[in-house]
Homo-oligomer: A and B are copies of this chain.
């Protein structure tokens, strides 16, 4: 049996996504055995600090330490395109490509009637508000290609039909560098349907 405070520390890490009991133990013992008191204090301070300083951008709903966020307030970004994603991680992933220069809108989830997640639970109204002044010409639906993500994309695209915006969906198909024979059936069907002239 661990001392109660060690057990408590292990449980705190076990709550985090992707961390099982074994990893949580390893992390807790790492902190206790190998971190200096200063390093542990810095880690602890960083959590509270980040939590208090980070909020949602009032425009795109991404996590930010200033309002509006750096992307929304940048004069270098193309304000006529909004890419709609489910989570802040998706923004990071697209930004890492260095190929997209428009704005974002983070829904913070996807519609899931089974889990009781309705349009009011995700940031759909906030997206509609951004379309009222006519600046936006295209909305790219980049929700995940899951049942819920696709349903969300379809639902939002219907809501957007009264607005003068082009609504597009990111392409689905065979990932680059992978092998055709290992692709699942639905991806293969999508890849055939989405074929383009060379």
Contacts and interface: CB of A to CB of B under 8 A. Distances in A.
Nearest to A37: B51
B92 A5 contact: no
A33 to B, nearest CB: 7
Interface stretch (A23-31, A149-157, A183-191): A23-31
B46 A17 contact: no
Contacts of A52: 37
A130 interface: no
A4 B49 CA distance: 12
A43 B15 CA distance: 10
A125 B88 CA distance: 52
A171 interface: no
Given A41-B48, A48-B44, A30 B1 contact: no
The oligomer's copy count stands at: 2
Interface string A1-43: 1111110110010011111000101111111110101011111
Chain A interface size band reads: 35 or more
A26 B15 CA distance: 12
B17 A88 contact: no
Contacts of A3: 54, 63-66, 69-70
B30 A17 contact: yes
Given A6-B50, A42-B12, A51-B41, A27 B32 contact: no
Nearest to A7: B50
A3 B87 CA distance: 15
B31 A27 contact: no
A77 interface: no
Given A30-B16, A47-B9, A25 B89 contact: yes
A108 interface: yes
Nearest to A95: B1
Interface string A92-119: 1001000000000000100000000000
